[in-house]
Structure 1
Amino acid sequence: MKNLEILIKEHFGELSNEEVSIIRSYFCEEKLQKNDFFTQPDKICDKLSFVKSGILRVYALSDGKEITQWISTENFLLTEVMGFFFDQPNRWTIQALTATELLTITKTNYLKLCKTFPKWNVIEKRLILKCFGMLEDRVFSHLSMTAEERYDLYFEQNKELFNQVPLQYIASVLGMTAETLSRIRKRQHQNS
């Protein structure tokens, strides 16, 4: 994992060392074992975390089928947005696929940080816009790329996951069946 201070600066913008220390003081260490839940449906998520190490899967059930929305790895932020920001029941289950280490801020501490550190509003806006941009990129790729192009892009950005995560989860993230992913992978290997 990158140093937390570097991560904070990457996610939240240019900050002084003192400002980074203030933000860092609101986060605590958290560990999850493989298969532990970060959040579950119908509860309200009360934490936001940096993933120090490990892999987590964000998924939901739809018509009895698990749909993987995201696979979170180190150096990413993680929460259930509707629960954490809007106090609504979680739509997503977030589960550790490996032993995981997190730096976590609780909702209570998050609200305290908002009150005691006025610059937080600007930082939070930057963070939300960055997340929105990632979401736009993901939607655009699903609308404009073929399944094979989505696979190529995801593989290029996340090679390490293909040996660590069940392929049906990756297929789901890419909006395809496991069989389609298998055919694409087979073609890729034949062409290389």
Structure 2
Amino acid sequence: MEKFKESIQATFGTLSEGELEYLRSFFHEEDLANKDFFAKEGKTCNRLSLINSGLLRIYSLADGKEITQWISTPGYFVTEISGFFFNQPSRWNIQALGEVSLLTIDKENYIKLTAEFPKWKEIESGFIAKCFAMLEDRVFSHLSLSAEERYKIYFEQNKELFNQVPLQYLASLLGMTPETFSRVRKRLHENA
């Protein structure tokens, strides 16, 4: 419960103990094995989860090539937004990179939570605004920063991932070919 509380407070702001316990009652524990899918492209995603442990990769296939959109880490929420909120087929695959432990709320309980917990609408708005701000930051960095600058910023914010995730996934996430990623990485580590 402690990790849940910390993540909720960090994401949504201050809630009372009673509110946190009530909110937690809508979530159930879920485990994924390595390479299990949380969501699959073309199918509707019907759950939202908080990652307790492990990593999830969000990616799509384009012209036979995998494009990594994001690596979700512990303490963050994950879903496929167009599926969960708009009942549309997912554009993204979400797959476990190793063993993953989640706290999950399904769509049915999410609707029930929204109806029974009036404060949830305010919380949801804040969550969506944070998602939008993260998206804006990603777009800005891809449009205005060099490959080297994007690498440096991502490395500083996510050092641990460079030892946990295949580097081609990180290259894709940063909008680079694996070859460019390797050159940038080598140059930066030689100059460090």
TM over 0.5: yes
Provide the residue aligned with 1:40 in structure 2: 40
State the SS of the aligned residue for 2:41: coil
Answering whether residue 108 of structure 2 is matched by residue 108 of structure 1, we say: yes
- Structure 1 residues 21, 51: CA separation in 2 closer, same or farther (over 3 Å shift)? same
User: Normalized against structure 2, the TM-score is what?
Assistant: 0.98
Shift of 1:2: 6.5
Provide the residue aligned with 1:150 in structure 2: 150
Distance 1:169 1:61 in 2: 13
Letter paired with 2:97: L
- Structure 1 residues 93, 2: CA separation in 2 closer, same or farther (over 3 Å shift)? farther
State the SS of the aligned residue for 1:137: helix
How many residue pairs match? The answer is 192
Runs of 4+ in 1 over 4 A off after TM superposition: none
Letter paired with 1:179: E
CA RMSD of aligned residues (A): 1.1
Distance 2:130 2:151 in 1: 23
Provide the residue aligned with 2:16 in structure 1: 16
Provide the residue aligned with 2:78 in structure 1: 78
Partner deviation per Cα, 1:42-75 (whole Å, 9 max, x = no partner): 1100000000000110000001111000011111
User: Within 5 Å, which residues of 2 pair with 1:132-147?
Assistant: 132-147=132-147
5+ long unaligned stretches in structure 2: none
5+ long unaligned stretches in structure 1: none
Provide the residue aligned with 1:4 in structure 2: 4
Distance 1:90 1:168 in 2: 23
User: Normalized against structure 1, the TM-score is what?
Assistant: 0.98
State the SS of the aligned residue for 1:58: strand
Partner deviation per Cα, 1:76-95 (whole Å, 9 max, x = no partner): 11000000000000000000
Letter paired with 1:103: L
Letter paired with 2:120: W
